[in-house]
Amino acid sequence: MEILRQSFQIKYDYNVYFTASIFDLNNKALSDFFRNSDTGYLRKIMFVIDEGVNNAQPNLIKNIKAYFSKYCCISLVQDFVIVPGGEECKNDNKCLYDIMEAIDANGIDRHSYLAAIGGGAVLDLAGYVSAIAHRGIKHLRFPTTVLSQNDSGIGVKNGINAFGKKNFIGTFCPPDAVFNDINFLQTLSTRIWKSGISEAIKVALIKDATFFEWIEANQVLLSLRDTEATRYLIKRCAELHLMHIGGADPFEKGSSRPLDFGHWSAHKIESLSKYQILHGEAVAMGIALDTAYSVLNNRLDEAKGQRILALLLKFDFHIDHPLALIHSLQSPLIKGLREFREHLGGNLAITFLSDIGVGEEHNQIDLQLLIKSSEMVSQFAKPYMPLLFQ
């Protein structure tokens, strides 16, 4: 038998810019980006905007138009596609179709850009469309939430939901650039704002003890949405995520998912709540559970475990939410664990903690210990309950 072997490498690179008021006429970040990436082709840019952001910032489109009419080395498509934010846009095929149709109608080709302004869900949807239209058009992201600025919006994944499953369809496809504009956060509700902090706690716990201590020390400032503290939180969290993604397995060919610390249960909690619990909130619940498990499994010092649970509670995360608790082997989260294992191809790979800042992968999980871990979270959170319902 004859065999021909094909082998090649593809290089991916992109920048994440940290800025404020990106469409202010004095902000050159975007115009510099287009000038530096000029290839001599006629280029167009079309925007997809999260409805919530557009409503909160009524001048947004006007500002974009003014910006591009001043900096005209790329042609702005006057047709803006507005899509609902949150999981709704990833569930509804009409949103996908609307963007695709606008790409066709406006002649957006492989040298042109689809730019997305919004929370993680809108970025996931627009990123997916960018990845598949014409086998890939250029893509810019303008994340507008803490979560998307420090985690999902700066990474390489996109996706939509199908068959009732989150991200059933999607690709790994890096953006051409990400612009993290701190001012987009101002109009967020406190609930959405805070939900983004859990991913920073997560990445600190598995990668960077110093960062965890910084979050502890700055908990009050962060809860008050202090701009400087927020800027640092997002930047360091984004940096840790980027370092990890750029490491061994950017497109997740293997099964190891250290960044998914706390996520195996989080995905199920979100789904059980019919997405009424936000992703970041569910991650906080998942972190609490897996922290307790790390303690009871004698891998993590108990006092350190308590510091972690206490920090989550100080940010008002409802870590003993009824949907996050495991009372028996029949609990829905145990079913979620089985689904997670199946998703990984039969071999479990779950990250727990051996120290603050040190994640370690386990390939087995003791279900009785998991029930006890849930009980531990529940007991620990009890004294905080009155605070939560003040």
Closest CA to 66 of 40, 31, 38, 100: 31
Cβ(45)–Cβ(74) below 8 Å: yes
What are the start-end ranges of the H helices in 92-119?
A: 93-105
Comparison of 18 and 71: residue with beta carbon closer to a copy of itself = 18
CB of 357 to a copy of itself, least distance (A): 20
Residues that bind a copy of itself (CB under 8 A): 1-19, 29, 40-43, 100-101, 104, 107, 109-112, 131-136, 154, 157, 159, 162-163, 165, 167-172, 174, 235, 238-239, 242, 245-247, 250-252, 255, 342-347
* Residue in the structure block whose two tokens are 């998991």: 370
Distance CA 64, CA 48 (A): 12
Q: How many CB atoms lie within 10 A of CB 258?
A: 18
CB of 168 to a copy of itself, least distance (A): 7
CB of 267 to a copy of itself, least distance (A): 14
Rg (the chain; Cα; Å): 22
Comparison of 177 and 300: residue with beta carbon closer to a copy of itself = 177
Closest CA to 209 of 283, 314, 292, 300: 300
CB of 230 to a copy of itself, least distance (A): 14
Q: What is the number of alpha carbons within 13 Å of residue 238 lying toward its C-beta?
A: 23
Q: How far is CA 274 from CA 267, 268, 277, in A?
A: 11, 10, 8
Comparison of 215 and 238: residue with beta carbon closer to a copy of itself = 238
103: Cα separation from own chain's centroid: 25
Comparison of 111 and 372: residue with beta carbon closer to a copy of itself = 111
Comparison of 2 and 276: residue with beta carbon closer to a copy of itself = 2
CB of 338 to a copy of itself, least distance (A): 12
Comparison of 241 and 318: residue with beta carbon closer to a copy of itself = 241
Comparison of 9 and 390: residue with beta carbon closer to a copy of itself = 9
Q: Which two tokens stand for residue 212?
A: 């965890």
CB of 179 to a copy of itself, least distance (A): 10
CB of 82 to a copy of itself, least distance (A): 21
Run of H or E residues at 361: strand 358-362
Distance CA 197, CA 150 (A): 9
Comparison of 63 and 255: residue with beta carbon closer to a copy of itself = 255
Closest CA to 219 of 323, 349, 308: 308
Q: How far is CA 388 from CA 200, 224, 290, 345, in A?
A: 22, 16, 22, 39
| Pairing mode, strands 350-355 and 44-50 | unpaired
For residue 324, the 8-state DSSP code is G
CB of 45 to a copy of itself, least distance (A): 13
CB of 259 to a copy of itself, least distance (A): 14
Comparison of 9 and 276: residue with beta carbon closer to a copy of itself = 9
